[in-house]
Amino acid sequence: MSILDLGAADEILGGRTRRPARDVTVAEAPAIDARHPDVVAHRALRRAVFVDEQGLFRQGIDGAAGDLDEHDHDPRAVVLVARDGAGEVLGGVRLAPVDPDASRPDLGWWTGSRLVVAPTARRRAGVRVGAALVRAACARAEAAGVLRFEADVQAPNETLFRRLGWRRVRETTVAGRPHVRMRWPVGRFADLVAATKAPLGELVAGLAGSGPHVGDDGAPVPGSDVVAACDAILPAMVERDPEWAGWCGVLVNVNDLAAMGAAPTALLDAVGARDASFAHRVLTGLRAAADAYGVPVIGGHTQLEVPASLAVTALGRTATPVPAAGGRPGMAVRLTADLHGSWRPGYTGRQWDSTSTRAPADLRAMVAAIGPDAAHRPAAAKDVSMAGVVGTLGMLAEASGAGAVLDVAAVPRPTGATVADWLTCFPGFGLLTADEPGAPAPSAGPATSAVCGELTDGPGVALRWPDGETTEAVAGGVTGLGPAEHAAPTGGNHP
């Protein structure tokens, strides 16, 4: 992110202001639109500073003197321009995917560049234009689902970026001048883990049992070949979409059993509803899913004149449950997922519906992927929960006493989902497994399967990018339950 000398020491040292600059606004425009007033203004300011004042760029992409490059022709790139209350341009910045070829997938790896502040705005009292634009760029990038956001900044301005929370990566060179590559720490995965799984360790202390199945999706019943699973649906979801909530009550439970390598055998439900009509809608969705998966509902409880609620318990059978804790550093991580379908209406970016339009035979084939009759069963497995692919991988690694690295470009992903949304959503069917390198893929009917990472010695989950760089996704353990014991099983679960 080439940036001119901002001048004022307090701007360089953190962009601090004594009072908010209420007369400054930041607007967005497509960088490719050379006629847009903000793009025209930004390009003119760039040329005045980077070419005429600093002599940084001698020749642009079009052969003429200037700083235009391939990112200016990327339809995904955006320009942010700051103006004061009178409409005067104070500065601007450009954001774009690192790969400017829009025909290739956007992995959520973006760069900030051409950050410039007008000479007249460099020492304007109470206005910290450079810092404001950097903050706006970070917010815009995260809103776009960017997972890796970097900028090459001129060396004297490293301090400013550090003060704004950026981290130094390495020294580099742009147009023959010393620069420093800086990285903005994206907290999307850590925030999701904190909201969904981090409290579990303290909450269920003393309830999660011990042995190799702590942290599993289901609990082997001691002295039997029965595996039990139990999940509740968010009350807001039950209230908003009762039929879909009923369907999901079955879906999440059979997926839990599938991750344990158990064949589903029965369901029990507990429904709360304001009246009989509403309870009927919940049970209609539940019954439809039970029929589709071929799992009978053998009992339950229904209560009326209460707030909406739904919990389902599922029973399955296997003599040899597949634990989440069976992984070891060096094992290959594989995601097997159903890429069919689309975002559930009202849940874009959060719930991918691949199941409601699938044939029963396909649904049952996916659930049986590592079941008792499977030709091969992996060393460890977990189904992707509301912690998303990254958070669930963190749980598998945590239970196994390991860490994990996920290859972003290798993750199977539907075309209708961004990388960021896919790695944090609840998919209809998603199974993470760990096994020896070269082990066969689960036989999961129409689902897509690919090796996309490995377990490591260190804690947490890192993302690995096509250039070989890794970025932190989750710093340490996800649930706080810690590694499972590798001893005689005594049951217990709780994610």
Look at residue 64 in the predicted model and tell me its pLDDT. Answer: 55
**Chain centre to alpha carbon of residue 149:** 14
Residue (of 50, 64, 189) closest to 118 by Cα position: 50
Look at residue 62 in the predicted model and tell me its pLDDT. Answer: 55
| Cβ atoms of 325 and 214 closer than 8 Å | yes
Look at residue 208 in the predicted model and tell me its pLDDT. Answer: 56
> 229 Cβ partners below 8 Å, 6+ apart?
217, 218, 219, 253, 256, 257, 260, 313, 314, 315, 316, 493
> 43 Cβ partners below 8 Å, 6+ apart?
34, 68, 72
Look at residue 488 in the predicted model and tell me its pLDDT. Answer: 35
Residue 377 counted as domain residue: yes
| Cβ atoms of 251 and 312 closer than 8 Å | no
For residue 219, the cross-strand partners are 228
- Residue 492 pLDDT > 70, yes or no? no
Stretch 92-96: mean pLDDT:
98
Residue 3 counted as domain residue: no
Query: What's the mean pLDDT when you consider all of the chain?
Result: 90
Query: Are 346 and 243 in the same domain?
Result: no
Residue in the block written with tokens 């701007």: 11
| Cβ atoms of 72 and 32 closer than 8 Å | yes
Query: Are 300 and 369 in the same domain?
Result: no
Last residue of a domain, one of 320, 352, 377: 320
For 103-153, the pLDDT digits (tens) are: 999 999 999 999 999 988 887 656 689 999 999 999 999 999 999 999 999
Look at residue 210 in the predicted model and tell me its pLDDT. Answer: 56
| Cβ atoms of 102 and 76 closer than 8 Å | yes
Residue 109 counted as domain residue: yes
Rounded to 5 degrees, φ, ψ at 268 are -130, 145
Query: Are 65 and 15 in the same domain?
Result: yes
Lookup: tokens for 210:
């011990």
Number of domains comprising the chain: 3
For 238-275, the pLDDT digits (tens) are: 999 999 999 999 999 999 999 999 999 999 999 999 99
Query: Are 105 and 196 in the same domain?
Result: no
Rg of the chain taking only CA atoms, in angstroms: 26
- Residue 215 pLDDT > 90, yes or no? no
Look at residue 175 in the predicted model and tell me its pLDDT. Answer: 86
> 478 Cβ partners below 8 Å, 6+ apart?
193, 197, 198, 387, 391, 394, 395, 398
The bridge status of strand 470-474 relative to strand 263-273 is unpaired
For 476-491, the pLDDT digits (tens) are: 888 888 888 763 333 4
Stretch 31-53: mean pLDDT:
94
Look at residue 61 in the predicted model and tell me its pLDDT. Answer: 53
Look at residue 207 in the predicted model and tell me its pLDDT. Answer: 67
Last residue of a domain, one of 298, 320, 342: 320
| Cβ atoms of 158 and 168 closer than 8 Å | yes
Query: Are 290 and 333 in the same domain?
Result: no
Residue 347 counted as domain residue: yes
Q: Could you give the CA distance from residue 368 to residue 116 in angstroms, rounded to a whole number?
A: 57
Last residue of a domain, one of 286, 320, 354: 320
Stretch 170-186: mean pLDDT:
94
Reported confidence tier of residue 202, pLDDT bands at 50, 70, 90: confident
Look at residue 192 in the predicted model and tell me its pLDDT. Answer: 92
Query: Are 458 and 481 in the same domain?
Result: yes
| Cβ atoms of 52 and 202 closer than 8 Å | no
DSSP string, 269-329: EEEEESSHHHHHHHHHHHHHHHHHHT--EEEEEEEESS--EEEEEEEEE-SSPPPGGG--T
Look at residue 482 in the predicted model and tell me its pLDDT. Answer: 84
Query: Are 84 and 231 in the same domain?
Result: no
The domain of 243 spans 219-320
Residue 269 counted as domain residue: yes
Lookup: tokens for 344:
């559930």
- Residue 204 pLDDT > 90, yes or no? no
Residue (of 280, 255, 211, 245) closest to 381 by Cα position: 255
For 332-380, the pLDDT digits (tens) are: 999 999 999 999 999 999 999 999 999 999 999 999 999 999 999 999 9
| Cβ atoms of 373 and 456 closer than 8 Å | no
For residue 427, count CB atoms less than 10 angstroms from its CB and return exposed for 0-12, middle for 13-18, buried for 19 or more. buried
Stretch 305-310: mean pLDDT:
97
Query: Are 211 and 235 in the same domain?
Result: no
Q: How far is CA 437 from CA 149, 176, 410, 441, 455, in A?
A: 32, 44, 15, 11, 11
Q: Report the predicted TM-score, pTM, of the whole model to 2 decimal places.
A: 0.89
Query: Are 200 and 332 in the same domain?
Result: yes
Lookup: tokens for 384:
């992707």
Helices H / strands E in the chain, number of each: 12, 21
> 103 Cβ partners below 8 Å, 6+ apart?
none
Look at residue 211 in the predicted model and tell me its pLDDT. Answer: 67
Q: Could you give the CA distance from residue 271 to residue 305 in angstroms, rounded to a whole number?
A: 11
- Residue 233 pLDDT > 60, yes or no? yes
Query: Are 431 and 307 in the same domain?
Result: no
Query: Are 33 and 128 in the same domain?
Result: yes
Domain of 365, CATH number, reads 3.90.650.10
CB atoms within 10 A of CB 111: 22
**Packing angle between helix 360-367 and helix 242-259, nearest 10 degrees?**
40
- Residue 451 pLDDT > 80, yes or no? yes
Look at residue 489 in the predicted model and tell me its pLDDT. Answer: 38
Look at residue 324 in the predicted model and tell me its pLDDT. Answer: 93
Q: Could you give the CA distance from residue 318 to residue 328 in angstroms, rounded to a whole number?
A: 23
Lowest mean pLDDT, pick from 15-19, 279-283, 312-316: 15-19
Domain of 32, CATH number, reads 3.40.630.30
| Cβ atoms of 426 and 348 closer than 8 Å | no
| Cβ atoms of 223 and 177 closer than 8 Å | no
Query: Are 21 and 49 in the same domain?
Result: yes
